[in-house]
C-alpha cells in the first residue's frame, strides 16, 4: 500500500503554472496565475487569474434582485460574520487586492447544474451562491462569479502592480485588441 498524501486542494499551486504576486495602491496583495504577457509602451502588462476563488458580496432582500456591494472596508463587521460562516465549511475569507477571495477546498459545481435555465435572471447565470448569512437582520451572500475573473497588472521586479484608474482606462482597450489579434493567429 502506498502512503501517498491526499490529492491537492484547490489552494495548492501546480508547479508548472507561473504565479505572480500583485500589489494594489493600498498595499494589499493577491496571488495570481499568469495567463498572458502583453508588452506595451516599454512595460510588460499581464493578464492574471486569482489562485484562490474570487467572491462577491451581495445584500439579499427577499424577492428583490441581489444588490452587489462593490466597496467594503476590510474591517466591516459583515466580513467578520462571513469569516465565521466560511470557517464552518473549512474555508477562509481573504481580503486581497482587487477582490475578496476564498481559500480552501471548494466543491466543484455539477455541470448539469450549470445548464442554461431560461427562467433564470442574469445574476443567477453569472454567479453561484457559496454561503448566505444574517447580520443585523439583513441577509447577505458570498457569490462565486462563474465567468472568468481577470486581473490586469504591470510587472515590477518579481511582482506586479495592479493597473488602476487612468492607466487602466488607457491600456485596457489596447490589451483587449492585442488578445483578439493573438486569438486570430491561433
- pLDDT tens for residues 140-150? 999 999 888 89
Largest CA distance in the chain: 59
Cβ–Cβ < 8 Å for 40, 171? yes
* C-alpha radius of gyration, the chain, whole number: 18
Cβ–Cβ < 8 Å for 132, 60? yes
Provide the mean pLDDT of the chain. Answer: 81
Mean per-residue pLDDT for 97-119? 66
Note the pLDDT of residue 37: 92
Residue 50, pLDDT > 60, answer: yes
Note the pLDDT of residue 180: 87
Mean per-residue pLDDT for 108-123? 47
Q: pLDDT tens for residues 5-42?
A: 333 334 455 567 789 999 988 888 999 999 999 999 89
Residue 145 grid cell: 462569479
Mean per-residue pLDDT for 104-126? 55
Domain ranges of the chain: 19-50+149-185, 53-108+119-145
Tell the burial category of 48 from Cβ atoms under 10 Å away from its Cβ (0-12, 13-18, 19+): buried
Continuous H helices in the chain: 77-87, 122-126, 165-185
Q: pLDDT tens for residues 148-183?
A: 889 999 999 888 999 988 999 999 999 898 888 888
Alpha carbon distances (Å) from 93 to 23, 26, 129, 182: 18, 18, 15, 35
DSSP-based three-state secondary structure for 71: coil
Amino acid at each position: 500500500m502506498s502512503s501517498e498524501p491526499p490529492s491537492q486542494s484547490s489552494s495548492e499551486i501546480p508547479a508548472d503554472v507561473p504565479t505572480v504576486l500583485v500589489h494594489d495602491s493600498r498595499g494589499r496583495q493577491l496571488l495570481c496565475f499568469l495567463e498572458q504577457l502583453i508588452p506595451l509602451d516599454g512595460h510588460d502588462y499581464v493578464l492574471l487569474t486569482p489562485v484562490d476563488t474570487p467572491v462577491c458580496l451581495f445584500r439579499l432582500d427577499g424577492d428583490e434582485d441581489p444588490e452587489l456591494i462593490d466597496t467594503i472596508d476590510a474591517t466591516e463587521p459583515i466580513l467578520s460574520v462571513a469569516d465565521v460562516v466560511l470557517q464552518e465549511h473549512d474555508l477562509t475569507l481573504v481580503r486581497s487586492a482587487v477582490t475578496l477571495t476564498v481559500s480552501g477546498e471548494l466543491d466543484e459545481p455539477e455541470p448539469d447544474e450549470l445548464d442554461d435555465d431560461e427562467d433564470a435572471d442574469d445574476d443567477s447565470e453569472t454567479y453561484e451562491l457559496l454561503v448566505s448569512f444574517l447580520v443585523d437582520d439583513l441577509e447577505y451572500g458570498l457569490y462565486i462569479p462563474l465567468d472568468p475573473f481577470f486581473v490586469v497588472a504591470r510587472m515590477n521586479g518579481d511582482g506586479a502592480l495592479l493597473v488602476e484608474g487612468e492607466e487602466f482606462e488607457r491600456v485596457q482597450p489596447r490589451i483587449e485588441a492585442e488578445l483578439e489579434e493573438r486569438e486570430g493567429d491561433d
